[in-house]
Amino acid sequence: MKRKIMRISALAMAGIMLCQTPVLADGVDQPYLSLGADLNKQERQTVLRLLGVNESELDNYTVVQITNADEHEYLDDYLSASVIGSRALSSVLIEKTGEGSGINVTTKNITYCTEGMYENALSTAGIADADVVVAGPFNITGTAALVGAMTAYEDMTGENITEESKDAATNELVVTSELASALDDSQKAEQFLALVKEEVVSADISSVEDITQVVQDCEEQLQIELTEEQRQQIAELMEKISNLDLNVDKLREQAANIYDELSKLNLNTEGIWQTIKDFFSRILSFFGIGQDSSAPEATTE
C-alpha cells in the first residue's frame, strides 16, 4: 500500500488576530493554513471567509497547498476516484490549544466526514489539544483535509506522526464514513468505532479473531447489526490501531466530545469485559491450560 505523506498544513482561530503574529499554546508561534490547490479566486475567498482569515493577514500564517494528485496518492487505497474528486478544494485551519482541552473540530460545507469522525481519527493519529476547522467553498467530501490537519500538527509542534498512524487514521475516517452511510446514522457510527477502539486499546487485544469478538459485543451494546464484511473491515482496522501503542485515557480525553456522549448511554461495559474474559477462558480450558489436575474433585453432600 502506498503511504506517502502529503505536505499540507493548517491553522488558527478566527477573530483572535491583531497586527502582530499570534502566540499560540505550548510555544507554537506560527499559525497553519492549508488551501486546496485548485481553488479559483472566488472559491478561495469563500474558504478564507469561512475560516475567518483575511487575505491581507496571510503573511501571519504558514500557508501550504495540497494538489489533487497528492489526494489520490494517499487516498486511492481507501476511496473511489469519484469520492476523492478531480479538484483539491479541502482547506484546514489548526491551532494548538492548552493541555487537556482535547481535539475540537468544526466543519463548514463538508458532507462526507462529520466533526466526530475527524475527532476520532485525529485522536488515533496521536494528535492532542487542537482546534481544527475544515472548510470547502461549497459542499464537498473533505476527505483530504484529515491528512492536512495531521501534517499541519506535525509541522507546527515538531512532533512526529508515523506513517502507520496516518494510515490508520485515514482508514478509520473512511470506515466510519461508510458505516454511517450504511446505518444512516453518523452519530451511531462515530460512537461505535470509538467504543470498539476503547475496548481494544484497554484490553491490549491485537488479533483479528479476538477483536472480532469485541466488535460483536459492542454491536449488542449499541444495538446495531453489522454484516460479516463490515465486521471484518472494522477488525482489520482495529488490528492496525492496536499496534500504535495508544493510551486509552488519552483517547478519551482527546475525543471527549464522543466519549462523553457514550458515557451518557450507561452502557454495560462490564458485560463486554466479562464476555472477553469468558472467551479467553474457554480457549484456555480447551487446551487444559490453568487447570490443576492434582486438585481434589469437589464433592457434594
Per-domain residue ranges of the chain: 25-162, 185-286
Judged against a pLDDT cut of 70, whether residue 146 lies above it is answered with yes
Instruction: State pLDDT tens for residues 244-263.
Output: 999 999 999 999 999 999 99
Rounded Cα distance between 193 and 198, Å, is: 8
Overall average pLDDT of the 238-249 stretch: 95
Cross-sheet strand order for the sheet of 130-140? 62-66, 32-36, 91-96, 130-140, 103-110
The model's pTM is: 0.80
Cα–Cα distance measured from residue 133 to residue 93, given in angstroms and rounded to the nearest whole number:
5
Which of 12-16, 64-68, 121-125 ranks highest by mean pLDDT? Answer: 121-125
What's the per-residue H, E or C state across 135-183?
A: EEEEEECCCCHHHHHHHHHHHHHCCCCCHHHHHHHHHHHHHHHHHHHHH
Query: Among the listed ranges 8-17, 178-187, 195-204, which one has the minimum average pLDDT value?
Result: 8-17
Query: Which range has the worst mean pLDDT, 66-70, 180-184, 233-237?
Result: 66-70
d(CA 260, CA 267): 12
17-67 confidence digits (pLDDT tens): 322 333 344 555 577 898 889 999 999 999 999 999 999 989 898 888 878
Those residues whose C-beta lies under 8 Å from the C-beta of residue 248, and which sit 6 or more positions away, are 198, 201, 202
Range with the poorest average pLDDT among 78-87, 268-277, 282-291: 268-277
Q: In whole angstroms, give the CA distance from residue 48 to residue 119.
A: 22
Question: Average pLDDT of the chain?
Answer: 82
